[in-house]
Amino acid sequence: MSSVVIMKDTIQIRKFTATDLDTLRHITVASFGGVALEQTLEERLGIWDQSRDWKARKADHIDEDCRANPDGIFVAELNGEIVGYITTRVDLINSRGRIPNMAVTEAARGMGLGRRLIHHALDYFREEGLKVAQIETMASNAIGQHLYPSCGFQEMERQVHYAMRL
């Protein structure tokens, strides 16, 4: 009689380490197509610096997050492989936290990882003694507009982005 062993997926959320940066940049570039302001700028204004496209600029946002608050970045691993991340900023003076960026690889979406990452970041904010959490999303991002309210965020205001060629 043969026995079949079914391996259950293991999900782990852990703190970011510097060696994760390249993977996070890669996930960012692969994930943000269609929902990044940097891409809209490029589509509407054209490429204004041949060495820097929207992907390079968007990946730079993650470097910026890593410089600003590396202790507040969390990565999600599925069976030992990084498949998502969330970045945060902590403003202790105003008791407020912000989530500037998050992404989950396309293959790992819809499994609740995004929601888990958000709750992980919110727990981190609470541990830091913060009183308010903020997150924003583009009007074109249907998933964000569903996910964030369902995690407890309330819509506050809509912002309009303007840009022009010089």
Ligand X SMILES: CC(C)(COP(=O)(O)OP(=O)(O)OC[C@H]1O[C@@H](n2cnc3c(N)ncnc32)[C@H](O)[C@@H]1OP(=O)(O)O)[C@@H](O)C(=O)NCCC(=O)NCCS
Question: Quick one: which segment of 37-45, 63-71, 120-128, 139-147 binds ligand X (CB under 6 A)?
Answer: 139-147
Q: Judged by CB, which is closer to ligand X: 23, or 141?
A: 141
Residues 96-135 touching ligand X, rule: CB under 6 A, are: 101-104, 109-115
User: 70: helix, coil or strand?
Assistant: helix
Total of residues contacting ligand X (CB under 6 A): 22
Contacts 24+ apart (CB under 8 A), 67-74: 70/16, 70/18, 71/15, 72/97, 72/121, 72/124, 73/15, 73/16, 73/24, 74/13, 74/14, 74/15, 74/16, 74/117, 74/120, 74/121, 74/124
By the rule CB under 6 A, 142 interacts with ligand X: yes
By the rule CB under 6 A, 72 interacts with ligand X: no
Binding site for ligand X (CB under 6 A): 31-32, 35, 101-104, 109-115, 137, 141-144, 146-147, 150
